Amino acid sequence: MPLHGRRFGGGSATTTPTPPLGDGGSGSTGSGGTILANNATGRGSIKLASALILHSIEADKACRVIFYNTAAHALADRNRKIGTPPKKGAGVLAEFLFSAPNETITCEPEPALKNGDSPQTSLIYYSITNLSGGSTTVTLTLDYTPVS
């Protein structure tokens, strides 16, 4: 599930509905992506860093974005409704709701996104739900700092 237009540390990413995502990382770009129907959710992972601090996130369409520490947590959380808090220990690292196109959320406080796999990898797991009202790709721009 490649991301197109992905450039991280100040770049963008577009979702597709089936994992896994291709490689990524600071300064890389890619192409591809799949159109999501309205209210459809794409899940996958992106190779960013084993841990990072997220400063801001921008979406070009109305959507819901959730970051998880493992693929198993992302799968277990797949039916949670918007507005329902995750259960303790659910592996949800951050969740964002964009109600309009071209919104930017500045994170305060800034969440730490950390891979929870054993052994730890540089994959960050996510789900994105298209809330735009029509079928489309959703492009995200993430501003983050990798943590060693």
Pick among 2.20.25, 2.60.120, 1.10.3470, 2.120.10: CATH of 11-146: 2.60.120
Cα angle 81, 63, 51 (rounded to 5 degrees) comes to: 90
Per-residue pLDDT of 109-141, as tens digits, reads 999 999 999 999 999 999 999 999 999 999 999
> Residue 103: beta bridge partners?
59
Task: Provide the residue ranges of all domains of the chain, joining segments of one domain with +.
Answer: 11-146
Per-residue pLDDT of 69-102, as tens digits, reads 999 999 999 999 999 999 999 999 999 999 999 9
pLDDT of residue 30: 32
Task: Report the C-alpha gap between 52 and 78 in whole angstroms.
Answer: 23
Residue 104's Cβ-count burial label (10 Å; 0-12, 13-18, 19+) is exposed
pLDDT of residue 126: 94
pTM of the model: 0.80
117 contacts 91 by C-beta, under 8 angstroms: no
Task: Report the C-alpha gap between 62 and 76 in whole angstroms.
Answer: 24
